Structure 1
């Protein structure tokens, strides 16, 4: 599988994952940085698609805003649990805050006993990163599963050197589908790019809509196209932006 031909800007809606897709995954989630070339490409593509470009991520909306500033996009955060539309309206289902706090307390204890583990606390979910302690992967997963087992409304999802407790109804595919019912995405062909297993729901939704799905990196996938690395996808995005500027459409 290779990267797709450049899609027609006036007919396409772009949905992009963040970590591993627009930026490399690093040891500490707060240490990532969007390059100026990537930022410029996002701004250019968003302009040519009339604003039909959204970030669909496991991160909080506010965190992505800080990384992409001064740009501002529609965003689905926490794997689709929260969603901000093109006019700035934020949708976030009600969540049992006490239950989420109990999840966080149990994981904080594990982190305090094991240097190098990193707990990422978000609005609606909590992620345990073990990139600095890969030998603790089984312990992290087992602990997360045990804690979540008694917490109705949450499920465990695994990613690249991370395990996360997130709401059962958090789904990137559902977020993409919701965006596609609204302007400026309505009536366009969806394109989704992502690198992790949590992006497979979005690939399924985009494929069902006759769209373009791009897997970034290796691994089994439902996506129709593939970029071998984050750098390869970013290079494609930058080239696409230059192509749009050159043809003026």
Structure 2
């Protein structure tokens, strides 16, 4: 069942973007946005992403309109987010909350076992070499096995990564769309956001969270629990009450709201 959810077969066609999404007022809102599949379209390879000019313009407008209460929340490393969004000066939450950049300073949120991380990365790299269409993505606190170009091998990827994660103390498997990640079990986007909301200028704000992947579900639930707005991008199953079909539609809706 898990493998079919990852490849999207269980999601159905749930694009329901015709309804009005209730958004808080600008004076009270804080905007939290995933990156891949939310601000930008998914690419065949993580390094193949293209950031449209509309994204940069939207982030500039949002930072101005919301008095800086805007953050990017991603599974990518902070360094990659900085490369894709060089002009964005707001907080970056990377590696699902294992890293964050605030006020221009990047740091890991806690200490992680670097020896285990190195071993996991080596084992996944060795495994992926057996199937050329597998893609390994290294992260500062873990490793991802992408099988978007080898979906017929998805069940094999799941079996290997699940077994490896179960043997790594302090780490767990994080499923994603056409990928499996092993990451520290003490981090999550919702955990990172809870910490960020305790600091200025976010303290007391009403959250808006938009994300597309299973990795975003906890953060979507977090936003809804705080009385905010949770927006799912795409057609997969979700806890969010609101849904938009793709990044372009999200950008358009946010642009209208910020006007």
TM-score class, shorter: over 0.9
The CA deviation string for residues 96-123 of structure 1, in whole angstroms up to 9 with x for no partner, is 1111111111111122111111100011
- Counterpart residue number, 2:44: 27
Equivalent residues, number: 242
Candidates 215, 219, 225, aligned match of 1:208: 225
Per the alignment, in what secondary structure is the counterpart of residue 27 of structure 2? Answer: helix
Per the alignment, in what secondary structure is the counterpart of residue 50 of structure 2? Answer: coil
State the shift of 1:69 in Å.
1.1
Instruction: Give runs of aligned pairs for residues 76-225 of structure 1, distance below 5 A.
Output: 76-86=93-103, 88=105, 90-225=107-242
Q: Return closer, same or farther for 1:173/1:188 CA change in 2, 3 Å cut-off.
A: same
> Per residue, is there more helix in 1 or in 2?
1
Kept in 1: contact 2:89–2:103 (CA 8 A): no
State the shift of 1:240 in Å.
3.0
Question: 1:155 & 1:181 partners in 2: Cα distance?
Answer: 27
State the shift of 1:59 in Å.
0.4
Question: 1:87 & 1:10 partners in 2: Cα distance?
Answer: 24
Question: 2:40 & 2:185 partners in 1: Cα distance?
Answer: 27
Kept in 1: contact 2:165–2:172 (CA 8 A): yes
Q: Does 1:16 align with 2:33?
A: yes
Q: Return closer, same or farther for 1:18/1:121 CA change in 2, 3 Å cut-off.
A: same
Question: 2:22 & 2:103 partners in 1: Cα distance?
Answer: 27
Which segments of structure 1 move beyond 4 Å, counting only runs of 4 or more? none
Kept in 2: contact 1:38–1:238 (CA 8 A): no
Structure 2: 5+ residue runs without aligned partners?
1-15
Per the alignment, in what secondary structure is the counterpart of residue 135 of structure 1? Answer: helix
Which shifted more, 101-110 or 49-58? 101-110
Per the alignment, in what secondary structure is the counterpart of residue 223 of structure 2? Answer: helix
Q: Does 1:239 align with 2:256?
A: yes
TM-score (norm 2): 0.89
The CA deviation string for residues 167-209 of structure 1, in whole angstroms up to 9 with x for no partner, is 1011111111111100010111011000011111101211111
Question: 1:35 & 1:6 partners in 2: Cα distance?
Answer: 24
Q: Return closer, same or farther for 1:3/1:156 CA change in 2, 3 Å cut-off.
A: farther
Question: 2:108 & 2:127 partners in 1: Cα distance?
Answer: 32
Q: Return closer, same or farther for 1:217/1:207 CA change in 2, 3 Å cut-off.
A: same
Question: 1:18 & 1:3 partners in 2: Cα distance?
Answer: 23
State the shift of 1:239 in Å.
2.7
Which shifted more, 78-87 or 19-28? 78-87
Kept in 2: contact 1:144–1:163 (CA 8 A): yes
State the shift of 1:71 in Å.
2.1
- Counterpart residue number, 1:60: 77
Structure 1: 5+ residue runs without aligned partners?
244-249
Kept in 1: contact 2:78–2:106 (CA 8 A): no
TM-score (norm 1): 0.93
The CA deviation string for residues 119-173 of structure 1, in whole angstroms up to 9 with x for no partner, is 0001101111111111110111111111112110110011111100011011111
